[in-house]
């Protein structure tokens, strides 16, 4: 079944010039790009995006990090796109969870700066795509 998911290259990924690497891995997997936008995120959008983490000890640092520089936001489409992108990205903790061959497994070290984001369910994908790309 064709699905859509929201992908972010976070400020650490843009800063490290890994945008091309991430897009390349999306395309090599066979997933398609529906929308792409490089932008600096304001605190309001960041807080809405990460609403499920409100109240957690790392919430403030999460908001500071995601608003600290340009982010590449993308809508990605394909069969089982949500799970497929999560496989390409690797687990949240780049050392303990992400496997070699994944973006985080190959290129990241820390959970707080793990390069990319992906929606974790069809409900999150719908919510996040509406938030980041209201016109879609
Ligand atoms: P992401 O998939 O974008 O969704 C929530 C983010 O919170 C996650 O990636 C991590 O970057 C971050 N995160 C999760 N747990 C922690 C933690 N214990 N400390 C710092 N950041 C965290």
- pLDDT given at position 1: 83
Q: Are the beta carbons of 107 and 115 closer than 8 angstroms? A: yes
> Does 80 show up as a binding residue in the annotation?
no
Q: Are the beta carbons of 34 and 77 closer than 8 angstroms? A: yes
Using a 6 Å cutoff on CB, does residue 112 contact ligand 1?
yes
Domains, in order of start, for the chain: 2-132 (3.30.70.141)
Q: Ligand 1: distance of its center to the CA of 112 in Å?
A: 5
As for the ipTM of the complex, it is: 0.90
Pairing of strands 116-118, 2-9: antiparallel
* Beta bridge partner(s), residue 78: 3
**Among 8, 63, 87, 112, which residue has the most ligand 1 atoms within 8 Å of its CB, making it the best to mutate?**
112
Q: Work out the average pLDDT over 120-131.
A: 98
The string of pLDDT tens digits covering residues 8-57 is: 999 999 999 999 999 999 999 999 999 999 999 999 999 999 999 999 99
Q: Ligand 1: distance of its center to the CA of 53 in Å?
A: 9
Whether 117 is catalytic is yes
- For residue 66, which atom of ligand 1 is closest to its CA? 3
> CB count, 10 Å around CB of 134?
7
The catalytic residue among 7, 74, 117, 118 is: 117
Using a 6 Å cutoff on CB, does residue 52 contact ligand 1?
no
Using a 6 Å cutoff on CB, does residue 114 contact ligand 1?
yes
Cα dist from 2 to 31, 81, 82, whole Å? 10, 7, 10
Alpha helices, DSSP H only, in 30-113?
Answer: 43-49, 59-66, 81-89, 103-107
Could you tell me how many residues make up the chain? 136
Q: Work out the average pLDDT over 98-103.
A: 98
């Amino acid at each position: 079944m064709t699905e859509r998911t929201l992908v972010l290259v976070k400020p650490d990924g843009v800063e490290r010039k890994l945008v091309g690497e991430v897009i390349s891995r999306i395309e090599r997997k066979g997933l398609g790009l529906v929308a792409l936008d490089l932008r600096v995120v304001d605190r309001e959008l960041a807080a809405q995006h990460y609403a499920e983490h409100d109240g957690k000890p790392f919430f403030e640092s999460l908001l500071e990090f995601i608003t600290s520089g340009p982010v590449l936001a993308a809508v990605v489409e394909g069969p089982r796109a949500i799970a497929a992108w999560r496989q390409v990205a690797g687990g949240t903790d780049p050392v303990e969870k992400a496997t070699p061959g994944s973006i985080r497994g190959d290129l990241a070290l820390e959970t707080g700066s793990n390069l990319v984001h992906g929606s974790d369910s069809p409900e999150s994908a719908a919510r996040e795509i509406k938030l980041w790309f209201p016109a879609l």
